[in-house]
Amino acid sequence: MMTPEETIEAFLQVWENKPDLFLSPDVTNEELDSLNKQITSSSDTSNAEIAKQIREWCKNHPTIRDAVRAAPKKVKGYQNISTQESHSLQNQYPKISSSLRERLPKITESKPNE
């Protein structure tokens, strides 16, 4: 079983790299709105609770669930930079990516030793 952080990162990877899964006819705008509210509603919600909400949401979307399960499991963290490619999901629901990124460890750019 994945840790909460692994679940969050795996979902974020699928969200950002496979937007077509979320834009399929199987996923309604109402479901995306509900997910958006669940993920972005409160910053004091624990990672475990957010991961549980993601898993519950994915139960209704087996293709997305399978993609999340297949995503790399190691939590790498994220640099505080914007993605180079934007897509309609990120334009419609910009807070999902930022809310999930805030829950993952930050990577600071290190300068090579001279």
What is the per-residue pLDDT for 76? 55
DSSP string, 31-42: HHHHHHHHHHS-
**Average of per-residue pLDDT across 46-71:** 94
Residue type, 68: V
CB 89 within 8 A of CB 23: yes
What is the per-residue pLDDT across 63-106, written as a single tens digit (0 to 9) for each? 999 999 998 766 555 444 344 333 566 666 777 777 787 777 65
**Average of per-residue pLDDT across 43-64:** 92
What is the per-residue pLDDT for 84? 37
Task: Round to whole Å and give the CA distance between 84 and 90.
Answer: 12
